[in-house]
Structure 1
Amino acid sequence: MNGPVVLDRRRVLAGSGALIVSFTLSDAFGQDQNAPSATPAPKPPGSLATTPFLDSWIRVDADGGVTAFTGKAELGQGFKTAFQQIAAEELDISFQSLKVVTADTARTANEGFTAGSNSVHLSGTAIQNAAAQVRALLVAEAARRLDLPAENLRTENGAVIAPDGRRFGYGDLVASDMLHMQAQPTSKLKDPATFKVMGQPVARVDIPAKVTGGAAYVQDMRLPGMVHARVVRPPSYGAQLTECDVSAVEKLPGVVKVVRDGNFLAVVAKKEFQTIKAMAVLSAAAKWKEMPGLPNQHDLGRVLTSLPSQDKTILQQSDPSVTGQRSLEASYTRPYQ
């Protein structure tokens, strides 16, 4: 299977001594330099199209450790486990030996938002293809050292192995900048019939922290000197804060400060639940002046259509040779949410 494969979550479920050897792999990743300039070059699949360097997705350490990177945030979807399966499968290493780093602004690709069931589709596809191309680089380097054709070698448990039993661990093959090269549009992906990790039931890696009270999400982080805040929301749009006696709130356990800036009202405390309790007391003490600021709920259609807008053609089909006999025009509305 040599073409790009687009992953989705259903297919996945169904079926520093880091030295990252700089050399040219003209055989492994040859490019036709005589291709017509007018033909746009195909882009790598998934998020590789916007972050094309392989070492943005896969790192191989000198000790043989392997890390996969994603710019998506694990929010309970379970894709961190899926990405670990994907990378381990394409690199021919065990699931347990691979690490996955998610949404670290200092180390991972900027993949924007995490939403719309696009994590496996975009980031998973990028990791799969990057891992496959890293595997090809490692095999090519081993072939060079062994003076053997690359197709005579195989990968298993983090090593490239020759027919006579000679082997190089992945850590033995990498050197500086080896993986700092742009991904190719297509990858030699493994045949799904040979999968050993993908498509197999695996315990999710994010579950233990959830059931033991550990750090599972970003909101579980507790930094030195960290405090918590809650904002008191106005009762309606455009309401004005006219009065607020904060003396009782300031005396509550753990409260650090009450913040008021015009109509903005918030409380800061040492612990999260202290902040929540203080917010309730502060909300009760706040007095607001409400003014009619929202349109009539029965006239929302007219109000919304009168707001500034930008028209965009989604689909247009026509045949100039056909003369229309009559035109149909209609307007449709539904409750605004």
Structure 2
Amino acid sequence: MKLKGLSDTRWNCRAASLRRLKDPAVLRSVLSVVEDVQEKTTDGVIRATALGLMKNLRDPKFIITLVALSPVMDLVDHVCNSLQSPQLDLLSAQELISSLAKELSHWQTTATWNKILEDAAELGSLIDVDINGSDESRHRARKIPARLKEFACDSLPPSEDASPRNTNTSDLGEGAEQPSEKTKQMRRVFCVADRLVAELERRFPPELGDFCILQRTHMFRDDADGRLERLAALYGLDLAELKSQWLLARNMIPVETDRDMQAAHALLPKEFVVLRWLYKVALTLPVTSAGVERKFSKMALLKSKLRTTMSQARLEHLMFSFSESDIASELNMEELVSKFARMGNRRMELL
């Protein structure tokens, strides 16, 4: 029996792991398995890992964080699955992202935190963990790394329903009362939601929704002209030329294409240069991330197994050839071998 780490790359793996671990029966089973490994293994490394896992799993901070972040990861997981649809509706996707950002902002209330503590206390009681233990037994506070100081959250308690955004420990005077450990943990958990909202706003700006007018199902919207004008201004395109090509195209593209912009782009005449360029931009921006995440997972394996046996340049070349496997598969291997042979003899004469 071996201990297996959780995924650290894909959102749906994280959400599924938290969802399962939040189940009391599953959590008790995990604790039992880790304890069994700890007692029976003869490998010192595995025993030390099991001891660390057992300590963390029974830590009140872990239980509270598990209960707090599980619903957040579920929300993110549902949105990620919707964004990875091959027939993605850009307008619906933008509304879904906006809804997620609003929900994460509304989630940061004292009432929500009190409910989290209640659920965490109930879960802790099932595995003999006292969530409401004294703060005196906590570990010495760690120094915040310089690169994370801008995200420091251990500040004064906020108003009843205020978000902890833009709080900083420097606001505390020397004689001010330090916040409790649970208040600090509330700050850390809410800062995760704040960071998610900020990243959603940065990665999915409202301008992305304007591309919906390139989908056949949205071409006859009342606000289509305004969206077209904003796209022309954003990318510096000739509005008159773009609009004339778009007006002609919306009557040429069949209804069957619906939300398939790739099919619509293939039907456009080559003379529609400006509109075809805008379609290329739209087809490039909303790239799904599942394939990229899988490649990152493989890269992590490559680094851990072979990193110490090769140069940085060779490692980058191998990762590039794996990521672009569709291009690499079309290369002539015999020609590559011949080219390598012509580069010179690489055998070292020892005598």
For normalisation by structure 1, the TM-score amounts to 0.23
More helix by share: 2
More strand by share: 1
Q: Rg bigger for which structure?
A: 1
For normalisation by structure 2, the TM-score amounts to 0.23
Bigger relative contact order (CA 8 A; separation at least 6) = 1
